[in-house]
Every structure is written in C-alpha cells, then in structure tokens.
C-alpha cells in the first residue's frame, strides 16, 4: 500500500509538472496595419520569430489576408493566419491629385473593428501559454487596447517608419528636450502635407492607448541608424521602454527565397544582365499617377538609355475586390523601343528579391515620407533626390528623370552613392551573422519574451 501510494503521488506530481510545462509555451500575436508595406514588414518579422520555434499568430482583416496570400506564397508552418471580417465599406477610386492614398481611408478605418476579435484571440491563447507577446503597428494601438487587461499578455509597438523619422516626431512632440546638430535640423524637411486630415484623426485615435507597451521594435539596424536609435533610448524620450532594432526584416528572413523553378520572369531577366547595371522603377502599392505624370516618367526612363525594370500597376484599391483601377498607358511604341534593354512588369513584382539581385544598380521610388527620404539622401548619402518635398506640387519632367537615372548609374557621383550603398549593405549582412548587431538584437528580443521570473512556480521547475 505504501508503494502504491508513492506511485500515486508521483503520478500526481508528474501530471502537475506536465501541466506547468505546457503553460511554459509562448505565443506571439502580430497585428499589422492594413497598408501593404506595413503588412509586409510584420509578415517578414513573423517568419523571423517563428524560426526560433515560437508559434506566431498573424491577425488582419479577411480582405487584407486575401490580398496578402495572393502576393506571398511561402509560409512557415509556425505562422498561423487569422482573417477577421469587418463591416462592408465603399472606397472611392484612386485620385492622382492626392499624394496621400485617400482612397484607402475606408479600409484603414475598418481596422477599428478588430478590437474585439484581437482581444478574444489573445485571451484564448493566454489560457494555454505562460506569456503572449502582442506585436502591433502603432496604427493598431486602438485595436489592441484590451490586451492590457489580460494578466499574462504584453504588448510591443512596431514602428514601420525609420528610426530617424520616429526620432524627429518624438523630439518635436516632447518639446525638443535636448540639443541636436543645428546644421542637420536646418536641413530637415517639413512634414506639412504628408497626411490626409482624416488619417490624422485616425492617428489621434491611437494615442490614448499608447503607453502600456513593454517595448518598441524597428525594422532597422543600429548599423544603419545607430545615432537615432540612441537618441530614442534617451530618458527624455523613452519613458523606460525597451527598444530593439531587429531589421532589415526582409534580409534577416531567409525564407523569402523561392525555388529556381518558380522564379518570377523579372528575376530570370535580371540573371542575364551585368552586375549593378539595372535601375528598378516602382512606386509601390498606393501611388497613383496622372496620365501626364506617368508619361514623363516613362519617357525619362527610356531616354536615360540605361537598363531598367519598370513596374506598371494600378494602386491598391480599398476593398481589394480584384477589380483593377485604371493603369496609365505607356507611350506608343515604348515596349518595342526598349526591347532587350528594359523590362515592363504589369502587376505585382517580388520587390525584395529584385532589390537583392546582383544586377541591381539603383531603385527609383516614391518619397511621400520626406524624413525617410532625408535619411537616405542626406544622412546616409545612399540616394539622390529626384524632387524635394518643398517642390512636391511640381510636375517631375522627363528631363529630370533622365538626368537622375544617368547620374546614379553612369556618373562619378552615382558611383560614389552606389559604393556607399554596397558598403552599408555589407555591414548589414555582417550584422546578421552569428554575434552581429542585428542577430544580437533578435536574440535579445526572443530571450526577453521567453524570460522566466523566479516568483513563478514554473521557474522553479525550469531551474532544477
């Protein structure tokens, strides 16, 4: 009887230990904003974190999950997708006269309806986990506001903009609490006209729900923006929040590479081009050109006489219904005149893989976020301004486009810019190797969300 009693006690201890170990599981919940660039960044981060054998739950609207899956066909088995419906909305057609994609505002506003689905998901996951880490875009602070009521859940704000941009915003919001380089400050562009008034109201909706987070994440690196990250860690701006600069996510996420047999046509075309010889011209998923603007762009690209990939696509429409918005037409005979020297891609293109190709020599894109452009062209000096923010209402002529492309690809100035870009890229690659700065940041974040407190009974079991 004594023997049986001991076995019974052991079984009870075993079952109790098993239950406690089960609760040691950690979950990460990603809550991105629904603009595609924001979705894309947190998808890369999801893959990166899941590589540490941590299950990740990726949350968005049903509409935007459909869009995301149409563009990304590789997923980690450890990333679980949740698409939640929102009330129907109607989006106006894209308007070329608006720099801000105001046609997407109804879709942006729909995110407020994710509040209860997010809270319910996190609450459900929390019953089977020791800790749930919720990483959310700043613009989803309203949607995650109830997470703070869940005892074993904690939130982390993800900033989709550069650390440079976020620093200047915080520094000005806090009343310029310390001195900065006056010369840099004098060159800093204004942000007047950056955002649509309705979007500003959506931003203001987030502020009451900020401050409960444990830390802040950046899709950047101390190798790239070390000075600004240090500024953000200062007591005057930081409020004792932890900061991790874990990017660039797209480079750290190795799973974006696709098989040779399934490569996009533009990648196969790039394989045939000389190193550093191609300019990639793409203006993202939200930019809409007028016919005149697009004609000037296309003529300038053609007359530059440089190799190029030109992405011709309509801007994303708000309800992602599959109906293409009107795409501007290329000049008559354009395809025939550039055959062999240029490639036109009509539709979505695998941008991360294109930019990582050895044949790429430059990238022309939008700069509707002037302080991100300032970082690239003025601070890092790895880019050339096509049209500065103060002249944003002026038409960019084909002559300007032609001149800038030639300067970048075929001039001493461009050679120096590309040399700095290569050096910076190499430094970033080294930072992702074992012991590198980026690798340490990612390891540090993962270790933090897996931390164990001595006061928790599970910690005592782990410590034996």
Q: Annotated active-site positions, please?
A: 38, 137
Phi, psi of 229 (to 5 degrees): -65, -40
Cα angle: 420, vertex 425, 428; to 5 degrees: 130
Sign of CA dihedral 297, 300, 304, 305: positive
Cα angle: 237, vertex 240, 244; to 5 degrees: 85
Distance, CA of 447 to CA of 60 (rounded, Å): 26
Q: Which residues on adjacent β-strands are paired with residue 280?
A: 309, 363
Q: Is the omega angle on the peptide bond into residue 248 within 30 degrees of 0, that is, cis?
A: yes
Distance, CA of 159 to CA of 243 (rounded, Å): 11
Provide the 10 A C-beta neighbour count for residue 229.
21
Sign of CA dihedral 296, 298, 301, 303: negative
CA 317 to chain centre: 19
Sign of CA dihedral 393, 399, 401, 405: negative
One-letter-per-residue 3-state SS of 367-404: CCCHHHHHHHHHHCCCCCCCCCHHHCCCCCCHHHHHHH
């Amino acid at each position: 009887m004594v023997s049986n009693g001991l076995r019974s006690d052991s079984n009870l201890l075993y079952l109790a230990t098993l239950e406690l170990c089960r609760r040691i599981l950690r979950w990460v919940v990603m809550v991105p904003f629904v603009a595609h660039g924001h979705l894309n960044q947190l998808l890369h981060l999801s893959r990166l974190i899941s590589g540490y054998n941590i299950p990740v739950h990726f949350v968005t609207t049903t509409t935007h999950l459909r869009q995301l899956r149409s563009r990304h066909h590789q997923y980690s088995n450890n990333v679980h997708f949740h698409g939640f419906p929102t009330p129907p909305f109607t989006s106006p057609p894209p308007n070329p006269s608006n720099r801000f994609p105001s046609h997407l505002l109804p879709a942006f506003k729909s995110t407020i309806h994710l509040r209860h689905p997010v809270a319910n998901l996190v609450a459900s996951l929390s019953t089977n986990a020791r800790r749930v880490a919720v990483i959310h875009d700043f613009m989803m602070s309203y949607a995650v506001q109830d997470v703070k009521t869940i005892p074993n859940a904690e939130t982390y704000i993800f900033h989709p903009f550069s650390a440079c941009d976020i620093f200047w915003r915080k520094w000005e919001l806090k009343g310029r609490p310390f001195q900065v380089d006056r010369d840099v400050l004098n060159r800093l562009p204004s942000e007047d006209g950056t955002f649509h008034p309705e979007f500003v109201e959506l931003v203001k909706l987030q502020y009451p729900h900020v401050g409960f987070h444990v830390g802040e994440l950046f899709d950047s690196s101390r190798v790239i923006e070390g000075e600004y990250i240090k500024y953000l860690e200062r007591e005057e701006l930081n409020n004792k929040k932890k900061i991790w600069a874990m990017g660039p996510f797209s480079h750290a996420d190795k799973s974006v590479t696709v098989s040779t047999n399934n490569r996009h046509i533009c990648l196969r075309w790039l394989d045939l081009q000389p190193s550093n010889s191609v300019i990639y011209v793409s203006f993202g998923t939200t930019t809409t050109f007028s016919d005149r603007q697009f004609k000037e762009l296309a003529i300038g690209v053609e007359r530059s006489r440089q190799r190029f990939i030109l992405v011709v696509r309509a801007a994303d429409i708000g309800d992602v219904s599959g109906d293409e918005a009107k795409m501007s037409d290329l000049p008559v005979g354009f395809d025939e005149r550039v055959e062999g020297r240029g490639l036109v891609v009509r539709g979505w293109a695998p941008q991360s893989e294109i930019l990582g190709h050895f044949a790429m020599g430059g990238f022309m894109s939008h700069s509707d976020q002037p302080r991100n452009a300032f970082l690239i062209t003025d601070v890092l000096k790895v880019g050339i301004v096509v049209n500065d923010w103060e002249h944003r209402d002026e038409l960019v002529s084909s002559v300007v486009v032609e001149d800038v492309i030639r300067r970048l690809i075929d001039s001493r100035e461009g050679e120096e810019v590309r040399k700095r870009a290569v050096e910076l890229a190499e430094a970033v690659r080294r930072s992702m190797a074992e012991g590198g700065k980026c690798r340490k940041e990612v390891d540090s974040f993962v270790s933090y969300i897996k931390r164990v407190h001595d006061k928790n009974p599970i910690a005592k079991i782990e410590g034996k």
